[in-house]
Amino acid sequence: MSERTVFPTRTVREFLGKPHQHYIGGKWTSGASAKTIEVFNPATEEQIATVPAGGEAEIDAAVAAAREAFDTGPWPNMAPTERAGILFRFADLIAAHSDALSEIETLENGMSNFLSKFTVEQFISSFFRYYAGWTTKLTGETMPSRPLLGAPDDEWLVMTVKDPIGVVGMITPWNAPLAILSHKLAPALAAGCTLVLKPAELTPLATQRMVELSAEAGIPPGVINLVQGTGSEAGAQLARHDDVDKISFTGSTEVGRSIIRAAAGNLKRVQLELGGKSPVVVFDDADIVETATAAATACFIFSGQNCMAGTRLFLHERIEEPFLDALKQATEAFKIGNGFEDGVMLGPLISATQKSRVLRYIKQGLAEGAELLTGGDALPGPGHWVKPAIFTKTTPDMSIVREEIFGPVLVVQTFSDADVPQLANTINDSDYGLSGSVWTQNIQHGLRFARMIDSGQVSINAHAAIAPETPFGGNKQSGWGRECGREGIEAYLKTKAISIRH
Ligand code: NAP
Ligand code: MG
């Protein structure tokens, strides 16, 4: 970002000035509904766009377009190398447009533009490349098999083939619009599925730009459809729709439950990436300053609005004092502000609602007897700001320890050598199981705890080591299924067995 850049840049001003629409069957349309959604920049509280709010009619049209593209279109039947070629082109376009994509993401979500740009360029484009590679490797198996029917001397050839699951509905949250979309979009496209996207009403714009680029990349009409709208109308209709074969959802555990109920009608598949309350476990042999900085980042990056956030710190009591000093220092050093300012690490919270939710938890933590080591107060607007808060003197039953706050709040618990045998049980006493990390120079400790922590992803001496190749997802109430890696594409495939008697 050069010092002279003025945001929004001309490219993005032009994008913002265009009408924002749904994308159905390869055509941009305002839809039938007259309802609209106003989109705000959470750092300035200025309105940046208006998008249409689609409902049942728009979802029905988008599902019909996706169904037609799946049943008759070229996408599921295209030569794998050709589909890969289009996905590689899409990846190139994403990288080439990373400035504008990340600018739009920062405008609507507030996150640091440095982080967004880095993510789009390095991570999101490589996600599409990774899954483009899979299109040519979706093989079944042959197995020695002798089915029960037939004569004893019949010969058999038995094989499996992998088919795309069909029409997929994708419902995404506001906290990392582009990364979360890519976790779903890249493998689903590589598998040959067609889809309907319903982004969060708070952050509809970056997704729109991605859809524009997908068309430019050569993804045929009807393969990707986009309906803007609210969760209660557009999202719920997509979740319950009888002609949708699968819902892939990222968001809160509460809405995840409603998706499961809505999916019961036609028993569509459901994949869920939900909330978390992930542990960061620091042993007394960890490097204090390095680990304290990493722990502060693990919790406060994206201002704590991050499902993988390391919000529960378990700290060995032998290093309590110097570690907390270093943690406080690292936390207070984060620059808070508009994501376009140089050096800003922590942007605003997404909305006034989210800000009051976070402040409510902080008040409750104090009322329950926890102590604030730093932060926890609101900063004046415009924008929704809360200074990152670290709570000490916490106990396992406190609401700040048990519930996902989705804001910049870290709770510290200490343990002694005598607690170590029970520590994994204490850590696992949570409804969630998404991420986690163990910090130690002792590989025995590290591996033992990595194995014992009940979550979908644990890192040793790192937190949230997310990569296209590495499965990501939650245990317990953090979700169903895995994104990324081989499992990430298998989630969009169904297996058929074919038995040939000869
Ligand atoms: P949310 O309220 O669950 O919303 C997520 C999406 O679901 C939005 O698009 C929302 O639409 C839509 N939605 C709401 N009600 C719906 C319904 N009845 N039927 C269908 N769709 C509905 O979550 P959020 O507040 O945006 O995001 C924060 C949550 O997401 C946190 O709990 C966080 O942990 C979780 N998250 C998980 C992961 C992960 O990978 N595990 C990643 C990021 C976030 P509208 O917003 O437009 O109403
Ligand atoms: Mg919500």
Q: How far apart are CA 64 and CA 66, in angstroms?
A: 5
Q: Which residue has the tokens 């839809």?
A: 31
pLDDT of residue 207: 98
Reply yes or no on whether the pLDDT at 83 is more than 90: yes
Q: Closest-lying ligand to the alpha carbon of 432?
A: 1
- Strand runs (DSSP E) across 128-241, as ranges? 142-143, 156-164, 167-171, 194-198, 224-226
173 lines ligand 1 (CB under 6 A): yes
Confidence grade of residue 148 (pLDDT, cut at 50, 70, 90): confident
Candidate list 58, 307, 484, 490, residue with the active-site label: 307
Confidence grade of residue 381 (pLDDT, cut at 50, 70, 90): very high
> In this predicted model, what pLDDT tens digit does every residue of 3-16 receive, in sequence order?
568 889 999 999 99
Q: What is the 3-state secondary structure (H, E, C) of 91-153?
A: HHHHHHCHHHHHHHHHHHHCCCHHHHHHHHHHHHHHHHHHHHHHHHHCCCCEECCCCCCCCCC
Distances (CA, A) of 335 to 129, 332, 464: 34, 8, 22
125 lines ligand 1 (CB under 6 A): no
Candidate list 273, 404, 483, 490, residue with the active-site label: 273
Q: How far apart are CA 82 and CA 265, in angstroms?
A: 36
- Ligand 2 centroid distance, CA of 171 (Å): 12
pLDDT of residue 4: 62
**Selected residue with higher pLDDT from 67 and 3:** 67
Q: What is the 3-state secondary structure (H, E, C) of 25-94?
A: CCEEECCCCCCEEEEECCCCCCEEEEEECCCHHHHHHHHHHHHHHHHHCCCCCCCHHHHHHHHHHHHHHH
Atom of ligand 1 nearest to the CA of 171: 9
> In this predicted model, what pLDDT tens digit does every residue of 256-313 receive, in sequence order?
999 999 999 999 999 999 999 999 999 999 999 999 999 999 999 999 999 999 999 9
- Ligand 1 centroid distance, CA of 285 (Å): 39
406 lines ligand 1 (CB under 6 A): yes
479 lines ligand 1 (CB under 6 A): yes
Q: How far apart are CA 198 and CA 501, in angstroms?
A: 46
Q: Which of 434, 110, 436, 457 shows the shortest CA–CA distance to 302? A: 110
Percentage of the chain exceeding pLDDT 70: 99
- Ligand 1 centroid distance, CA of 366 (Å): 28
- Strand runs (DSSP E) across 347-492, as ranges? 371-374, 378-379, 385-386, 389-392, 409-415, 432-433, 437-439, 459-460, 475-476, 479-480
pLDDT of residue 138: 97
Q: Which residue has the tokens 């680029």?
A: 213
CB distance 355 to 349 below 8 Å: yes
Q: What is the DSSP letter of 7?
A: S
- Ligand 1 centroid distance, CA of 239 (Å): 13
Q: Closest-lying ligand to the alpha carbon of 172?
A: 1
Atom of ligand 1 nearest to the CA of 276: 34
Residue 483 bears catalytic tag: no
Q: Phi-psi bin for 262: left (phi > 0), alpha (psi -120 to 50), beta?
A: alpha
Q: Whose CA is nearest to atom 26 of ligand 1?
A: 173
Atom of ligand 1 nearest to the CA of 255: 3
pLDDT of residue 121: 92
Best of 105, 261, 307, 404 for a ligand 1 pocket test (most atoms within 8 Å of beta carbon)? 307
What letter represents residue 119's amino acid? Answer: T
Residues in the chain: 502
258 lines ligand 1 (CB under 6 A): yes
Q: What is the DSSP letter of 417?
A: G
> In this predicted model, what pLDDT tens digit does every residue of 6-43 receive, in sequence order?
889 999 999 999 999 999 999 999 999 999 999 999 99
pLDDT of residue 5: 81
- Ligand 2 centroid distance, CA of 448 (Å): 36
Reply yes or no on whether the pLDDT at 1 is more than 60: no
pLDDT of residue 150: 79
pTM value is 0.97
250 lines ligand 1 (CB under 6 A): yes
Query: For the chain, how long is the longest CA-to-CA vector?
Result: 82
Residue 233 bears catalytic tag: no
Phi and psi for 34 in degrees, rounded to 5?
Answer: -90, -5
> In this predicted model, what pLDDT tens digit does every residue of 309-351 receive, in sequence order?
999 999 999 999 999 999 999 999 999 999 999 999 999 999 9
- Ligand 2 centroid distance, CA of 255 (Å): 8
